[in-house]
Amino acid sequence: MPHATFHKQLLHFKQASGTSRGVLTSKETWFLVLKDGDRVGIGECGMFRSLSYDDNPDFESKLQWVCDLFIAGEAVEPSELKEFPAIRIGLETALLSLASDDPFILFPSEFTLGETAIPINGLIWMGSEAFMKEQIRQRINDGFGCIKMKIGAIDFETELSLLRSIRKEFSSEEIELRVDANGAFIANEALDKLKHLAELDIHSIEQPIKQGQWQEMAGLCEASPLPIALDEELIGLVDSEVRSKMLQTISPQYIILKPTLLGGFQASDEWIELAEDRGMGWWITSALESNVGLNAISQYTFTKNSKLPQGLGTGSLFTNNLESPLRVENGKLAYHPELSWKTELINLK
């Protein structure tokens, strides 16, 4: 008889991590476990408080509804979970896991065989100037060829100074620099800041102003001297017509896909098709999932054959993460099939 449960887990950061939305010390996530005979499937529903479209009081009752339907032998249509993107990707992952001989191999490839790794950006969290400088040195020493710095929480001149210090030592051919404003700039001040950033050979800036300002963002994308990548702008756009209209209106140079916040792999496929039809670039980013979610997103990402460094987390942010075969080596995310998963946090038996 089919069985389904979910389990809430609070992930604790090893050290407080700063963004323009505040400082994070912990993050909730939910593990969905499906069982059918001897088979087991696991997926992560990594809803992100204050950012996810499905941050609402009905989240756990919707998860229970999914479990009840599975136990009753009824299929859940993806369209029925449009309003719950984190549950949608959790179910999508758990079903792929259930169908696999190895519940942690969802998209078999050279990546899961340990033969090829995925280039990723090294993330610089917000904090004091000294803290950010130390992170920059560490990422460069760790072999990252692409560094992404979150900006918008401290003084802009200090942030420019940090970026200049990198450019004094490393050219854009040696180190690719991305910045992420998380919507922190005011619309009528953003263009001037983008001009200053462009002087430093910045690859791109993510979400310079808050989402929902389509005309203002369109004007920035047209006038900006450096490429703009939309991130939060994509969240909550669940209908194909609205997604298409937004891209047509704003016409960004890049879009950034967070599968957990956008509704999973099928939804990400649709975004990629819409972007490529318009000549827009894209890359994929994790959203502070545990190693369960990171594993699924990483395996999916590899199958998309992007040539750009991806924004995949390292799995090392949390004190109580599941131990996995994922490792970051020389600026790349690798899967070591000879290593095993340790799943004490979740009942998979």
Q: What are the catalytic residues?
A: 150, 258
Backbone φ, ψ for residue 121 (5° rounding): -85, 150
Tell me the C-alpha distance between 176 and 17, whole Å. 22
Tell me the C-alpha distance between 102 and 40, whole Å. 9
- Which SS3 state, helix, strand or coil, does residue 282 take? strand
Positive or negative, the Cα torsion across 222, 226, 227, 232? Answer: negative
Residue 115 · residue 336 · CB < 8 Å: no
Residue 1: name the closest of 41, 44, 39, 32 by CA. Answer: 39
Cβ-based burial of 133 (10 A; exposed 0-12, middle 13-18, buried ≥19): middle
Supply angle C-alpha 84, 86, 87, rounded to 5.
70
